[in-house]
Chain A
């Protein structure tokens, strides 16, 4: 009794209306006409075994961008049916012997959408190691050859037709595959493959015509067609031209309006919000100037900084972000000047932390409201100078409990093989110099 419940469950599922795996399974059966009844049966068993997994959303019926052997039809189908791609591929190859497999494959290739970038269904099952991919391809090609040989046997009556037909089919397949998905013509390999496909297909057509003895007739027809096509093309050239022009104009207009929309969105998110905040805090001078300052910096970065800096990942970006943080947390205005740039590694990140500590130190103890930050990246070293014009101190008389600079700055730098130097005297402000040698480059 207890056992009959889980077995009965899928049956109930099958009967219930949409939002249920059962209904989507019905759809598949419709798309892939009965040629893979076996696979669908397997799915049903899986669903019986683990109802929870079956309840999960089935991967979309799309062709993946990676892990393809030919056009991704088998891989996509397999992932949709939660099968090993190899099983589906062999099924296709076997079905190809009757000719149905080829036709179904072609139809699916035409109708199955390509997966959106980065949305390959279950890459784990679809992805192939380079080695297995090769081997599988080889095996499948052999299978396909065997299948077509059988297919050719079937067509023995018009056996002479088989070879040209196969040639045309292979040529078309190559062309389709090259123009499929996101391959660009810029890649040289793609162009050669395309040319090869065209030659193959053309050869097939000529062979076909030759074997059927209609080559001469076709040649006359070809000439006539060519003349007519040329005439039509010349006559309608202005229309094509105008179509192309209006299309490019349309595209330019769209780009412009998109850009305008993105600028408007950015201004709304940043400047307008800040202006509203400033109005609300009009009496609080400190808040107003802080808001204005942070907005100014943000807008500047958006307008002038190179993309790499804005998006982080480089020293200049790190410094800009750090300065923004320090200014937000402390009443200190920092004017950073960055010369050169480098990608961030662990050592630079540590130097950044030490720099931040130095700035915070200046904000807390110097009494100054502004500090200069200068940092220079050269192939040999990265140096950082933080200078304030505050009250200064005598470095020799720093009490032991004020260890911010000594521990977190000097210590950190020493561990990295760099140096930290503090120049200060009462009444003359302070300058901290941090130098980090760059060994790797």
Chain B
């Protein structure tokens, strides 16, 4: 047994078993939990490298687990795992501190790759998440005069970050993006991390609300 130490939180036993089978011996499973309460206790006890966190959980959802433990265990990395396509859910869990979001239909090798990348401190964008991010920042539109004491840069994506997000949404891997834009993979990763940070720190209400509004331009 080797690889990152992984904790699985999902209320469906079949999903937990499936994830265990798919990741196999490439990671070390340190525990699993079906709800918020046991998850908080188990993660506190085992301090894993990566928590695979279901967005929808009995007892408050994956977000509750994240909010309970994020400041307490800053070294734990969180990867949201969900069947939900609802942008609000996804954005909410990312803003709560998850390092990435993958759907449960992801293939075994891709999931393993995502877990490894998160364990190394990178962020994981699925094309869909990249699309949500682009939509969210597009909904904010042009920067308005910042009435709160925030860094206005947090509310906008730089041209390069936007480019990276678009390529991610088009299904490019980090490596492909690097060679397409003539930058290193590390630079692509740092752009992606910056976008995630902006998503988490921007306190524009629109970010959490955008999806509820009519998306017509």
The chain A residues found within 8 Å of chain B, CB to CB, are 296, 300, 303-304, 306, 308, 314, 316, 335, 337-343, 371-372, 374, 376-379, 385, 387, 431, 441
Complex interface bits, B99-114 against A, C-beta within 8 A gives 1, otherwise 0: 0000001000000000
Minimum CB distance partner of A316 in chain B: B215
B217 touches A441 (CB 8 A): yes
| Residues from chain B with Cβ under 8 Å of A378 in the complex | 138, 217
Complex interface bits, B162-191 against A, C-beta within 8 A gives 1, otherwise 0: 000010011110000000000000000000
Residue from the list B84, B127, B217 in contact with A335, Cβ < 8 A: B127
Residues of chain B in range 134-183 having any CB-CB distance to chain A below 8 Å? 134-135, 138, 166, 169-172
Q: A335-B127, A337-B127, A337-B128 are in contact. Are A431 and B170 (CB under 8 A)?
A: yes
Q: A314-B216, A374-B170, A441-B217 are in contact. Are A335 and B135 (CB under 8 A)?
A: no
Residue from the list A303, A342, A372 in contact with B86, Cβ < 8 A: A303
The chain B residues found within 8 Å of chain A, CB to CB, are 84-86, 105, 127-128, 130-131, 134-135, 138, 166, 169-172, 214-217
Task: Give bound CA distance, A308 to B216, whole Å.
Answer: 9
Closest 4 CB pairs of A and B: A372-B171, A337-B131, A374-B170, A385-B170
Task: Give bound CA distance, A441 to B216, whole Å.
Answer: 12
Task: Give bound CA distance, A371 to B170, whole Å.
Answer: 10
Task: Give bound CA distance, A303 to B131, whole Å.
Answer: 19
In the assembled complex, how far is the CB of residue B190 from the closest CB belonging to chain A, in whole angstroms?
Answer: 22
Task: Give bound CA distance, A335 to B103, whole Å.
Answer: 12
Q: Is the interface of A mostly helix, strand, loop or mixed?
A: strand
Minimum CB distance partner of A388 in chain B: B171
Q: A372-B171, A431-B170 are in contact. Are A306 and B215 (CB under 8 A)?
A: yes
Q: A304-B85, A340-B217 are in contact. Are A376 and B134 (CB under 8 A)?
A: yes
In the assembled complex, how far is the CB of residue B168 from the closest CB belonging to chain A, in whole angstroms?
Answer: 9
Task: Give bound CA distance, A377 to B86, whole Å.
Answer: 20
Residue from the list A338, A379, A431 in contact with B217, Cβ < 8 A: A379
A372 touches B134 (CB 8 A): no
Minimum CB distance partner of B103 in chain A: A335
Task: Give bound CA distance, A3 to B105, whole Å.
Answer: 80
Task: Give bound CA distance, A385 to B131, whole Å.
Answer: 13
Task: Give bound CA distance, A314 to B127, whole Å.
Answer: 21
In the assembled complex, how far is the CB of residue B8 from the closest CB belonging to chain A, in whole angstroms?
Answer: 22
Q: A314-B216, A441-B217 are in contact. Are A372 and B138 (CB under 8 A)?
A: no
Residue from the list B85, B135, B170, B217 in contact with A372, Cβ < 8 A: B170
A300 touches B85 (CB 8 A): yes
Q: A372-B171, A376-B166 are in contact. Are A341 and B216 (CB under 8 A)?
A: yes
Minimum CB distance partner of A307 in chain B: B214
Task: Give bound CA distance, A372 to B131, whole Å.
Answer: 12
A340 touches B169 (CB 8 A): no
Q: List 23 A-B contacts (CB under 8 A).
A: A296-B105, A300-B85, A304-B85, A306-B214, A306-B215, A308-B214, A314-B216, A335-B127, A335-B128, A335-B171, A339-B138, A339-B169, A340-B135, A340-B215, A371-B171, A372-B171, A376-B134, A376-B166, A376-B169, A379-B217, A387-B170, A387-B171, A431-B170
A339 touches B128 (CB 8 A): no
In the assembled complex, how far is the CB of residue A388 from the closest CB belonging to chain B, in whole angstroms?
Answer: 9
Task: Give bound CA distance, A387 to B217, whole Å.
Answer: 26
| Residues from chain B with Cβ under 8 Å of A341 in the complex | 215-217
In the assembled complex, how far is the CB of residue B46 from the closest CB belonging to chain A, in whole angstroms?
Answer: 33
B127 touches A372 (CB 8 A): yes
Task: Give bound CA distance, A288 to B217, whole Å.
Answer: 39
A374 touches B169 (CB 8 A): yes
In the assembled complex, how far is the CB of residue B134 from the closest CB belonging to chain A, in whole angstroms?
Answer: 5
| Residues from chain B with Cβ under 8 Å of A371 in the complex | 171
Task: Give bound CA distance, A372 to B172, whole Å.
Answer: 9
B171 touches A338 (CB 8 A): no
- In this complex, the member of B128, B131, B171 whose beta carbon has the largest number of chain A beta carbons within 10 angstroms is B171
| Residues from chain B with Cβ under 8 Å of A304 in the complex | 84-86
Task: Give bound CA distance, A379 to B142, whole Å.
Answer: 13
Residue from the list B85, B86, B131 in contact with A374, Cβ < 8 A: B131
Q: A300-B85, A374-B166 are in contact. Are A340 and B171 (CB under 8 A)?
A: no
| Residues from chain B with Cβ under 8 Å of A441 in the complex | 217
Task: Give bound CA distance, A341 to B84, whole Å.
Answer: 21
Task: Give bound CA distance, A378 to B135, whole Å.
Answer: 10
In the assembled complex, how far is the CB of residue A292 from the closest CB belonging to chain B, in whole angstroms?
Answer: 10
| Residues from chain A with Cβ under 8 Å of B170 in the complex | 372, 374, 385, 387, 431
In the assembled complex, how far is the CB of residue A314 from the closest CB belonging to chain B, in whole angstroms?
Answer: 7
Task: Give bound CA distance, A304 to B91, whole Å.
Answer: 14
In the assembled complex, how far is the CB of residue A366 from the closest CB belonging to chain B, in whole angstroms?
Answer: 13
A342 touches B128 (CB 8 A): no
Minimum CB distance partner of A300 in chain B: B85
Task: Give bound CA distance, A379 to B216, whole Å.
Answer: 11
Task: Give bound CA distance, A304 to B55, whole Å.
Answer: 15
| Residues from chain A with Cβ under 8 Å of B131 in the complex | 337-339, 374
